[in-house]
Amino acid sequence: MSEPAVVAATKLARVVWATRGASIGAFVFLLLEFVNGFREEMEYLWTKRTRVRFVTYLYAWSRYFPLCAQIVNFTLSEVTYASPSPKICFVAYIAKAVTSQLITTCVEGILAVRVHALYNCSFRTGVFLVTILILGTALEIAGTATTLAHLEPGIGGSICVPDRCPAATLAIYASGTGIIQITLLVMTLFRILVNRHTGWMRTPVVSLVLRDGILVFVMLAIMTSVLISFEIMRTAGVLVWNAAFSWYVTLLSIAGCRLVMNMRKLAVNQVRHSQRNSTMTAFSSIFGDFSVPS
């Protein structure tokens, strides 16, 4: 083997091990977060006094689905690297697309539920939020499906190293995510500004909703931009993209779980201090029976 070939093989091996380590690191980080939050999960969500609500199912999905998905993603990545074939590679792409869509929709649903409660569970607000979620999710699915449909073989004529995706298909996905996130953020800020003279803005529940909403908005904007940039510029290989995808799933899972858990813990503290208002009552109707855990 010539010296340039040896150098190229050595470089590839380093990239493989680095990206493999990054993917494993994402899974380990998610697992540690699960272990760290398990006691609070059992105390605040799965007690006999707590009625299971819709948002509890969203929490469970955000917590446990990504753990399974990370294992499947890593397994498919290893199989693809060991014995690449067009069929296996395409299955891996579909698995990643489905995983990212399901966890993204879950987190967006949790955010929408919180905003709905911020408007005291208004029926009109609920209809509007559901419409926005359906529209945004439809655009996200359309963008993902179009991207998969337009996958073309890249270097070496292999679909396992696909060519760049058309920018238009990525823009469709980004527009869906943007519609949902911007709408939720604007609705939160509007509600706060309208009630800024009542002191309502300084309540713990409003502060928490605003803080978490902005953090998740910024996080999703950054991660989506990074992943789309990887695809457009293709300065990083498929292996690096796999590692980035693993961290995308991990961070979204943690965000979704903490969005629910933060509201649950706040509500219990409000009960302990006998601080209830109409907004907290609306949150209690969604996030469950806020009796103090024994």
In a domain, 293, yes or no: no
Total number of domains constituting the chain: 1
Q: What is the dihedral of CA 213, 214, 216, 220, to 10 degrees?
A: 130
In a domain, 187, yes or no: yes
Q: What is the dihedral of CA 35, 66, 250, 175, to 10 degrees?
A: -150
* 216-227 tens-digit pLDDT: 888 888 887 777
In a domain, 124, yes or no: yes
> What is the pLDDT confidence band of residue 290, given thresholds at 50, 70 and 90?
very low
Q: What is the CATH number of the domain that holds 62?
A: 1.20.1070
In a domain, 204, yes or no: yes
Percent of the chain with pLDDT over 90: 26
In a domain, 292, yes or no: no
* 22-61 tens-digit pLDDT: 888 999 999 999 999 888 888 888 776 666 678 888 999 9
Between residues 169 and 33, which one has the greater pLDDT? 33
Nearest Cα to Cα of residue 120 among 292, 266, 284: 284
Q: Angle, nearest 10°, between helix axes 204-233 and 86-118?
A: 160
Residue 164 near residue 234, CB atoms below 8 Å: yes
